[in-house]
Structure 1
Amino acid sequence: MSSMDPVKLCAQVHLAVSALDPAHNTTTIVNLYRALIMELNKLQASSVHVAPLLSYTHLKMADVLQKHTSNSNLVLEHCNYCIELAMKVQNEPGQDPCLADNCLLASWKSHVVHVQKGNVLTAVEILTNSVSVAQCNPRWFFRLVLRIVSLSCPLAEVASKYKLDSCMDVLVTAEKYADKIRTQYMFLLMRLHRILLLMKQGSTERAESLSDESDALVNQFADTAKNEFHGQHIKVHHLMLNMLAKLSVGKIKSTRGTLKQLQDAIKILTQSNLDGIRSKNPAEQFQWMRSEHMCILAYLITVIHHSCGGSLEKAKKYAEKALMQIEILNSANELNVPQQGSSVESVVHHDQMLLKLHVMIMESVVQCDLVMGQKQLAIKKIAQVVSIGSKIERFFERFGPQIHMLMGLYSMTMNIMDNAEAQFQSVLTTSVNKDLVIFAALNLSVIFLRAGTRPNEAEKILSTVDPKNFPSPSEILKAAAYFLRSLHAFYTNQYMECRTFIRETVKISNNEDISRLTTCSFALLGHVHLMTTSNGKDCCETVCPALKMAEKVPDAHVKLWAAALLGDAVKLPGSSNITLKQNPEVVHETVKQQLLSDFLTSSKLPQHEIIQWVHGPLPEKLKALAKSSSLPTNPQ
């Protein structure tokens, strides 16, 4: 190429490239761009117009290489050249705005390559560095910020050393920027994402404080927003965060009012057909998630609320509604067909979001099934979770500990204690979720206590979750820790101390209607009475309510325990005046036969073999098993 005016030179080359089919002329196009870049580098010192042209050419070269070659390193090299050109001159006056646009496109392209290569932290750093360049383009600015958030949260889940502080700083900057350009919708969207990140960090009190501080702003915006969808979207988003923040610390009773508000608000949002209505402001063409997905998330929150409170039938009813909604979305092929308003950018990838919601619903239902004594349903659903997870990016890296937790609980109900112990140990060594680690430790202590010969090991692990200096704000887990302390005292014949810990458990569980723990506490207290007195009256008066509550939950194993205690208690002096609605021996035999039948069926299922997976990646033979578990969305 001969030296000439850089603008004309670029025009000629790009015109020549446009006439070529890149799929069949990749080498020719790359050579043309390479020659043009060399020529522009020579002209850069003599012309102010060269920098934007050079950055654009690097960008086009990266585009061709990304689409038509496998040389990702060369793609990154040209993206970096483009970014560096903009960064060098971004604060100089009179710069061509195209330079910033090219930089943002190159940053986006570069971060996509790094994510594909598994270098998520590098991708986040690239986007974070580009936020300052995007100040002149509100749409790009918020696009980068939301992408940083969507990458940072999963990164924090799998990398304990990764902190969300830098992401939090970006959101604070975004709030100020939204306020500066006067977009209340984006200001509140950024604020709500900051609350979500505080919850992720375990800063529940700060999250609740910021949420309470935002109440008036959210309600005012919901009532006055010119874009009705934006108003309802922000309101639902805020109510969901309120619910999740309270549920994460075990506040069941105090969330009832908020749950009713959420259910009313989601009904308005989904029935008004507002999803996808675009704002005329390009900076506001973002949403947290689609209305259909928000509806499913509302169902999930309701499931968690009822399951934590011990209303398992209600939890399963709402889970069925959520799974039915998922099936409708799948049947309508909404994951693949562009929707009206699909140009509105979403914070998350839709099909991945739907799969994750599906997994979280199934996770809650599995725990309900196990408590209700329906082990065969539970193991089928665990296999289905693994099958769904195989379709989700980095699923086993992020959700592996949760699956091991479920398999540990299943193994424990099947009385396969060696496997249950191995599963819980796997959670302890791999999870970065503090509450999940506590839950695994508590269940591991149950295994040690039930063994009868390992009280010291139980004491050692319980010392790591001492309720008097509890490492989590969760009231449910704290109450469970007190109950496990009472169980440890019972197994070591320290009955006075056992009663003390039972009182602490009941105090917390009654405050927030955590009925399952209340039920277990009453049954254990009845067992203490049975062991320490020859009078059956105290035992009957304690165990009868436990049996009644166990039937209401329903908790099959506590029902079996309570019926056995009651059967022994009525044979003791002092129980003759106790009136029983059911014969405890009949109840015990009925529940025992149901559990035995379920046990035998579960142990013969092919899905039962999946509990062999304890450490590392899922073995190939178990992948095939999970894949063959082609169950309906709601297997019964």
Structure 2
Amino acid sequence: MKMASTSNEQPWYTALLGFAENFRTSNPPNIRLCIHCLQSIFTFKPPPQIEARTHLQLGNILLTHTKNIDAARAHLEKAWSVSSSLSANDDVVFESASILSQLYEQQNQVQLAKPILHRAIEMSQQAPYWHCRLLFQLAQIFAIEKDFLSACGLLGVGAEFARTAQSDYTRMLFLLSKGMLLLIDKKMKDVDECLSMVSGLIETYQGSPIHKESLKVFFLVLQVCHYLMSGQVKSVKPALKQLQQSIQTITQIHTDDVLLSEPLSGNPVDLFQWLPKEHMCVLVYLVTVMHSMQAGYMDKAQKYTDKALMQIEKLKMLDCHPLLSSFQLMLLEHIVMCRLIMGNKSMAIQEIFQACHVCQQQPRLFTTHGAQIHTLLGLYAMSMNCMEAAEAQFKTASKLTTVSDLKSFVNLNLAIVYLRTNRQTELVGLLESIDPEKLESGSHSLKAAAYYVQGLQAFFQARYNEAKRYLRETLKMSNAEDLNRLTSCSLVLLGHIFLSLGNNREAMNMVTPAMQLAGKIPDVHVQLWASSLLKDLYRMCGDSHNEAEEFRMHSSFSQSLLKDHFQSSQMSEHGLIQWTDGQCPFHLCSTSVGSSSML
């Protein structure tokens, strides 16, 4: 923060400000003397404009260079109080409102921030840049509070203001931000209208190439997420490919040093950036991982997760932005599911623990992701055959979330727990919430999964014809959108049903492609199941060579899973499956094993 002064100010003020700036920029900086110079200004009883600006400068210095948050807050409050009472509004009033509100937000006192931002927005009509910035800031607070109606209203006001200020770029930033909140709020019809409008605006936009490509990336990220939230894994591919091409275009745009140091537009309303280029790259990795997971390409998901996490670690060394922690947490959530499918439970539980540590560094993240972490613990406990713990984790997750997709996913897994433990009474209580025709979630993939769970229930009750009917519905839906994991699970279960009915030929026709598909994913549990069935089928056919091969494969998968199961059970992190309330038990760590387990 450079300390500027104006030409008509007193010599004592200019001198003290110059000394303060000299101490601030010296190598190493002398912050104590910088603060001392600024505080000396008050002994001259300066006019209100200088008083307000000095309080703002002190607040900024204390926030940036010290841990004295209370003193910083006091100076910022004074800066706002003095500057907001003056008739001539300058940057001091708006900057103090913005920074003070950010500080209140960090201290979980948003009710103090909102009236200040409302007042500053009213005052900033003639300061276009600050008006837009303050609208974005207040909308973000409402979004965090899940008051999406108020947030979208403010973003709509911002879009209209940017239009009148002749800034197509910032108008689209407001509209895309609104589209993002509508997507989170599941207002799909409104999302379609918003994205349709912005699509046309981007096509006709005549601004800088960097602005155009960053808007395109924002638009395509929303479009891809829209498809993925609807479980349309195949339909999303063209948009995802476009997104990957667009991020490559951004990283390949060569700008010389002069261009980088100059604004991309002469309009002050255009001085906004959605995300830095490096953050955009991480985000594109993240949505690629989300797609790979839903489609059932675990190797691909793992590869892009590794790349994204490495990029995040590099970026965190330069600037530990909260958004990077959000990206890191979402990547960990996906890689944990990957590990469980691929039969690597020991890495999965360590990564769940790592996700808890990310939440510890950014406590707000546990508010938004606590349900997901307990869901992952439930999936891990299921894979370890700890069904009581799995049930407790899924019930905890269900209490913590209002998101329909996550609730449906949790209920489907809870139903499998009840099926595996033969708890019919509890299962009956869940049946309506997982009925594919009444599913609260509108996701194609979750509806297909609901048919699979119904097929599984019918199989357990030996209602084979009914089971086949449900599973064929799952296959129809999963084939339509390339849901490979659901396809392989349905095929192997159908094979098991045909084997139970004595129809060995049909069983072989189902299990063979299931095994091939499971190998491509790779899904170790389906491979274990399929190799067991194939071993029996080849024995019945008298094919001893293939029977021996399947026996070898079944033994290999079984030994690998048993070894990993034992390793996981000995890890102290395994004790997390007993945690359902309060803070994460951070005394657990990967260096202690066995005896320190909470089990």
CA distance in structure 1 between the partners assigned to 2:118 and 2:482 by the alignment? 44
- State whether structure 2 residue 358 is matched by structure 1 residue 388: yes
Q: What's the CA shift string for 1:242-296, capped at 9, x where partnerless?
A: 1111111111111111121111111110122459663233221211111111111
Secondary structure of the residue aligned to 2:587 is helix
Q: Is the 8 A contact 1:505 1:521 kept in 2?
A: yes
Equivalenced residue count is: 561
CA distance in structure 2 between the partners assigned to 1:582 and 1:107 by the alignment? 75
Matches within 5 A, 1:71-110: 78=78, 81-82=81-82, 85=85, 96-98=88-90, 101-110=91-100
Q: Is the 8 A contact 2:408 2:439 kept in 1?
A: no
Runs of 4+ in 1 over 4 A off after TM superposition: 10-33, 53-69, 71-84, 273-277, 575-582, 626-629
Q: Is the 8 A contact 1:489 1:497 kept in 2?
A: yes
- State whether structure 2 residue 218 is matched by structure 1 residue 237: yes
Matches within 5 A, 1:439-518: 439-452=409-422, 454-518=423-487
- What residue in structure 1 maps to residue 392 of structure 2? 422
Match of 1:302 among 280, 288, 303: 288
Q: 1:472 to 1:568 in 2, by over 3 A?
A: same
- What residue in structure 1 maps to residue 240 of structure 2? 259
Q: 1:315 to 1:64 in 2, by over 3 A?
A: closer
- What residue in structure 2 maps to residue 127 of structure 1? 117
Secondary structure of the residue aligned to 2:70 is coil
Q: Is the 8 A contact 1:302 1:315 kept in 2?
A: yes
Q: 1:141 to 1:462 in 2, by over 3 A?
A: farther
CA distance in structure 1 between the partners assigned to 2:71 and 2:118 by the alignment? 25
CA distance in structure 1 between the partners assigned to 2:547 and 2:223 by the alignment? 42
Gaps of at least 5 residues in structure 1 are: 1-9, 37-52, 87-94, 157-162, 336-349, 630-636
Match of 2:336 among 359, 366, 375: 366
Deviation at 1:186, TM superposition (A): 0.6
Q: What's the CA shift string for 1:384-421, capped at 9, x where partnerless?
A: 22233332252222222222222221111111222222
Match of 1:209 among 180, 184, 193: 193
- What residue in structure 1 maps to residue 303 of structure 2? 317
Deviation at 1:165, TM superposition (A): 0.6
Q: What's the CA shift string for 1:86-110, capped at 9, x where partnerless?
A: 7xxxxxxxx5344xx4542342243
Q: Is the 8 A contact 1:401 1:430 kept in 2?
A: yes
Deviation at 1:312, TM superposition (A): 1.1
Q: Is the 8 A contact 1:56 1:102 kept in 2?
A: no
Q: What's the CA shift string for 1:299-333, capped at 9, x where partnerless?
A: 11111111110111122122222233334445xx4
- State whether structure 2 residue 529 is matched by structure 1 residue 537: no
**Aligned residue identity for 2:453:** L
Q: 1:238 to 1:628 in 2, by over 3 A?
A: farther
Q: Is the 8 A contact 1:30 1:61 kept in 2?
A: no
Secondary structure of the residue aligned to 1:286 is coil
**Aligned residue identity for 1:519:** S
Q: Is the 8 A contact 1:55 1:85 kept in 2?
A: no
**Aligned residue identity for 2:232:** K
The higher relative CO (CA closer than 8 Å, separation ≥ 6) is in 1
CA distance in structure 2 between the partners assigned to 1:417 and 1:214 by the alignment? 48
Q: Is the 8 A contact 2:292 2:301 kept in 1?
A: yes
Secondary structure of the residue aligned to 1:131 is helix
Q: CA RMSD in A?
A: 3.3
Q: Is the 8 A contact 1:128 1:170 kept in 2?
A: no
- What residue in structure 2 maps to residue 523 of structure 1? 492
- What residue in structure 2 maps to residue 169 of structure 1? 153
**Aligned residue identity for 1:470:** L
Q: What's the CA shift string for 1:320-366, capped at 9, x where partnerless?
A: 22233334445xx432xxxxxxxxxxxxxx62222322222222111
Deviation at 1:15, TM superposition (A): 8.5
- What residue in structure 2 maps to residue 549 of structure 1? 517
Match of 2:180 among 180, 196, 199: 196
* Identity across matched positions, percent: 32
**Aligned residue identity for 2:416:** V
Q: Is the 8 A contact 1:482 1:501 kept in 2?
A: yes
Gaps of at least 5 residues in structure 2 are: 1-8, 21-32, 63-67, 594-599
- State whether structure 2 residue 562 is matched by structure 1 residue 596: yes
- What residue in structure 1 maps to residue 275 of structure 2? 289
Q: 1:138 to 1:458 in 2, by over 3 A?
A: same
CA distance in structure 1 between the partners assigned to 2:547 and 2:502 by the alignment? 23
**Aligned residue identity for 1:171:** L
CA distance in structure 2 between the partners assigned to 1:602 and 1:69 by the alignment? 43
Q: 1:74 to 1:236 in 2, by over 3 A?
A: closer
Q: TM-score, normalised by structure 1?
A: 0.80
Match of 2:552 among 583, 586, 594: 586
Deviation at 1:461, TM superposition (A): 2.0
CA distance in structure 2 between the partners assigned to 1:79 and 1:390 by the alignment? 33
Q: 1:550 to 1:397 in 2, by over 3 A?
A: same
- State whether structure 2 residue 202 is matched by structure 1 residue 218: yes
Secondary structure of the residue aligned to 1:390 is helix
CA distance in structure 1 between the partners assigned to 2:164 and 2:498 by the alignment? 67
**Aligned residue identity for 1:198:** L
Secondary structure of the residue aligned to 2:275 is coil
Deviation at 1:198, TM superposition (A): 0.7
- What residue in structure 1 maps to residue 70 of structure 2? 70
CA distance in structure 2 between the partners assigned to 1:138 and 1:241 by the alignment? 27
CA distance in structure 2 between the partners assigned to 1:69 and 1:122 by the alignment? 16
CA distance in structure 1 between the partners assigned to 2:544 and 2:198 by the alignment? 55
CA distance in structure 2 between the partners assigned to 1:323 and 1:388 by the alignment? 13
- State whether structure 2 residue 532 is matched by structure 1 residue 564: yes
Match of 2:227 among 246, 255, 258: 246
Q: 1:71 to 1:320 in 2, by over 3 A?
A: closer
CA distance in structure 1 between the partners assigned to 2:105 and 2:53 by the alignment? 19
Deviation at 1:215, TM superposition (A): 1.7
CA distance in structure 2 between the partners assigned to 1:141 and 1:537 by the alignment? 71
Secondary structure of the residue aligned to 1:467 is coil
**Aligned residue identity for 2:221:** M
CA distance in structure 1 between the partners assigned to 2:521 and 2:69 by the alignment? 59
- What residue in structure 2 maps to residue 92 of structure 1? none
- What residue in structure 2 maps to residue 607 of structure 1? 573
Deviation at 1:176, TM superposition (A): 0.8
Q: Is the 8 A contact 2:42 2:51 kept in 1?
A: no
Q: TM-score, normalised by structure 2?
A: 0.84
CA distance in structure 1 between the partners assigned to 2:166 and 2:548 by the alignment? 67
Q: Is the 8 A contact 1:566 1:584 kept in 2?
A: yes
